[in-house]
């Protein structure tokens, strides 16, 4: 007799009411993963797809072969960027609750990923971000007022009220227009990188995707094209453990890690401690140097944890233990960098508290400035005419007729 087939649906370790359990997330010691040369044969570093590159140890020291790339000033700047992003998020989250906009997505717990990554790129390089990489803009000096104008869809919104809040676009800051669809931007990043190589340029691209969206076919498309044409692109997977309510095991299946997806394509795949500013920066820099030196794409899995809700429309207490975030074994990125800077003797609790207050003032000042231009439900808005403009370079006759019908 043959046994009946069994259907398998993966489940997270715990659900609400249970005790958080990350014993299934092995954390290697900081400094224990080697730093290969950028011209390494991808076959020789397959282990890196299953480990985690870490620089900051539990005492706050920077250790191992990936340490030592950033100066005190650069690290202090990095800390400031992460703190700014966190303060910005808190204010905008509150603004959404106050009805000043329809929607917001915060980065709580993931601040290191995009802010550290941005500093490994050069002017002219292009990111194809998802909705949780505003750190790229903050770290590149994009004005917070402009971000808020976009979030408020007010009269000064550079996108004229056409896009959902936080779907920024800034070519000048190497930040491709966020779509709001998932995974589509990943293969576009590969195309941008191919174009740079076709043109004999020196610029590189970076694609961004979340753990859940790696299940989309565009993820596969991106890896095929990146692999085939050796595109100068960095393919980032931000594994923050949760795709709204779905734990990462549903997208990952039996692969072990998301980084492992790169191996079948011959793409070097590295996992990095996404809550370690120094590690993210070091791995990004390695991948950027590789891409710029014509060695092709690199896949980076940033192992992190989404400490907040997916968006203002989400309630994580419905699907995961409330204290899970506190139990996350890689800690908080801001606290970790702060402790490291204190250990280096260039920072202190007092200075940190003072910086926090200063940053909050700056964010509030930006918010006041933005609100002078209106919020979603009050003050001045983009015109109705703006709804019809800018779809095509030249407005076609049928749209002109409709605009006239609308009386604008």
Q: Which residues bind other proteins (CB under 8 A)?
A: 126, 128, 158-160, 162-163, 167, 169-171, 176-177, 179, 181, 184, 186-199, 205, 217-218, 220-222, 224-225, 228, 390-393, 396-398
Query: DSSP letter string over 356-404?
Result: HHHHHHHHHHHHHHHHTT-BTTBS----HHHHHTTSSSS--HHHHHHHH
CA atoms of 178 and 159, how far apart (whole Å)? 11
Supply angle C-alpha 156, 157, 162, rounded to 5.
140
Shortest Cβ 407–other proteins spacing (Å):
19
- Decide whether 17 or 396 has the Cβ nearer to other proteins: 396
Calculate the CA 372 to chain-centre distance.
30
Q: How many CA atoms lie within 13 A of 213 on its CB side?
A: 26
Residue 137 CB: number of other CB atoms within 10 A?
A: 25
Contact indicator for 27, 52 with CB cutoff of 8 Å: yes
CA atoms of 303 and 259, how far apart (whole Å)? 10
Shortest Cβ 255–other proteins spacing (Å):
20
- Decide whether 184 or 245 has the Cβ nearer to other proteins: 184
Shortest Cβ 159–other proteins spacing (Å):
5
- Decide whether 75 or 205 has the Cβ nearer to other proteins: 205
- Decide whether 94 or 224 has the Cβ nearer to other proteins: 224
- Decide whether 46 or 220 has the Cβ nearer to other proteins: 220
CA atoms of 220 and 214, how far apart (whole Å)? 8
- Decide whether 180 or 256 has the Cβ nearer to other proteins: 180
DSSP 8-state class, residue 148: H
Shortest Cβ 294–other proteins spacing (Å):
14
Residue 114's alpha-carbon distances to 13, 102, 143, 189, in angstroms, are 28, 24, 16, 16
Task: List the beta bridge partners of residue 127.
Answer: 175, 206
Shortest Cβ 408–other proteins spacing (Å):
16
- Decide whether 31 or 297 has the Cβ nearer to other proteins: 297
CA atoms of 157 and 141, how far apart (whole Å)? 18
CA atoms of 60 and 55, how far apart (whole Å)? 9
């Amino acid at each position: 007799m043959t046994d009946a087939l069994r259907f398998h649906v993966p489940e997270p370790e715990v659900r609400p009411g249970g005790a958080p359990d990350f014993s299934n997330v092995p954390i290697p010691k900081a400094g224990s993963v080697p730093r290969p040369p950028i011209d390494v044969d991808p076959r020789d570093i397959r282990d890196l797809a299953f480990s985690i590159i870490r620089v900051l140890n539990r005492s706050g020291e920077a250790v191992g072969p990936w340490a030592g790339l950033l100066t005190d000033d650069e690290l202090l700047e990095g800390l400031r960027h992460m703190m700014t992003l966190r303060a910005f998020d808190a204010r905008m989250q509150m603004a959404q609750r106050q009805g000043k906009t329809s929607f917001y997505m915060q980065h709580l717990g993931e601040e290191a990923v995009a802010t550290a990554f941005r500093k490994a790129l050069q002017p002219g390089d292009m990111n194809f971000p998802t909705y949780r990489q505003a750190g790229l803009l903050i770290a590149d000096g994009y004005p917070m007022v402009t971000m808020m104008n976009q979030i408020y869809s007010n009269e000064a919104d550079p996108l004229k009220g056409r896009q959902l809040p936080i779907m920024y676009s800034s070519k000048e800051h190497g930040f491709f227009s966020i779509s709001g669809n998932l995974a589509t931007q990943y293969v576009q990043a590969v195309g941008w990188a191919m174009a740079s190589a076709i043109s004999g340029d020196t610029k590189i691209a970076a694609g961004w995707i979340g753990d859940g969206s790696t299940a989309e076919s565009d993820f596969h498309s991106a890896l095929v094209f990146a692999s085939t044409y050796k595109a100068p692109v960095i393919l980032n997977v931000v594994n923050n453990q949760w795709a709204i309510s779905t734990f990462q095991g549903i997208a990952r299946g039996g692969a072990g890690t998301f980084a492992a997806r790169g191996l079948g394509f011959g793409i070097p795949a590295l996992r990095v401690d996404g809550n370690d500013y120094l590690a993210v920066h070091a791995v990004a820099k390695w991948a950027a140097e590789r891409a710029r030196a014509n060695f092709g794409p690199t896949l980076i899995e940033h192992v992190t944890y989404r400490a907040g809700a997916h968006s203002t429309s989400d309630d994580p207490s419905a699907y995961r233990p409330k204290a899970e975030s506190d139990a996350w074994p890689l800690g908080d990125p801001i606290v970790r960098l702060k402790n490291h800077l204190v250990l280096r003797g260039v920072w202190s609790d007092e200075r940190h508290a003072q910086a926090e207050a200063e940053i909050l003032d700056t964010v509030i000042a930006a918010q006041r400035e933005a609100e002078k231009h209106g919020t979603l439900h009050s003050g001045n808005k983009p015109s109705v005419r703006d709804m019809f403009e800018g779809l095509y370079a030249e407005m076609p006759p049928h749209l002109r007729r409709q605009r006239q019908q609308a009386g604008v």
